[in-house]
Amino acid sequence: MTPIYYCYIITIVMTLTVAITNNWQLHVPLAVRQIVRLEKPGMVTITAKPGGFLVSPKQSKILTLGGIFHKDYLKNPLNIDKIRDEIDYSQA
């Protein structure tokens, strides 16, 4: 008798209502940002569909190259999306 294997896919679906400001800005709630791992500063892709739109996180292509030519890049890689956390603004 051949064993039967099962595969389960769990999809988290969250529906929230958010306000759109006069400047066409929306607030992405913390729970949503955590689920899709959205960080700031960052980029998103907006896909228009009939009756709505889809907002998806996107990593900048140019920012992914940051620091790869430095000799210590592989020893101590830096997440370029969090570069502002590494800058010391106290001297400004």
β-sheet bridge partners, residue 58: 43
The overall average pLDDT reported for the chain is 77
pTM of this structure = 0.47
Q: Residue for token digits 């500063």? A: 41
- Predicted confidence at residue 64, as pLDDT, reads 64
Residue 14 · residue 31 · CB < 8 Å: yes
- Predicted confidence at residue 21, as pLDDT, reads 92
Residue 58 · residue 45 · CB < 8 Å: yes
Percent of the chain's residues with pLDDT above 70: 76
Sign of CA dihedral 62, 85, 67, 64: negative
**What is the mean predicted confidence (pLDDT) over 59-72?**
64
What's the pLDDT tens digit per position in 33-61? 888 878 777 778 889 989 888 888 886 66
